[in-house]
Amino acid sequence: MKWVDTREIAIALCEKHPDVDPKAVNFVDLRNWVLALDGFDDDPKRSGEKILEAIQMTWIEEAD
């Protein structure tokens, strides 16, 4: 997975953190959780607020 794979990342986060409200996750935790996902293989420096926001919004959609 790369940073641009927002839907795949969001699904993986749903599965790994089923009891977490994605609306309450701060970007520091979100970034760390994405980096810790199995299969995630991208440069940590390529993440930014815009991509983290996109991941969070997709996670919110997946959780609903």
From residue 48, give the alpha-carbon distance in Å to each of 3, 27, 41, 63. 9, 9, 16, 22
The confidence score (pLDDT) of residue 64 equals 85
Domains of the chain: 6-63 (1.10.10.600)
Residues with Cβ within 8 Å of 4's Cβ and at least 6 positions away in sequence, in order, are 51
The confidence score (pLDDT) of residue 35 equals 98
Predicted confidence (pLDDT) per residue in 18-62, tens digit = 999 999 999 999 999 999 999 999 999 999 999 999 999 999 999
* pTM of the predicted structure, to 2 decimals: 0.94
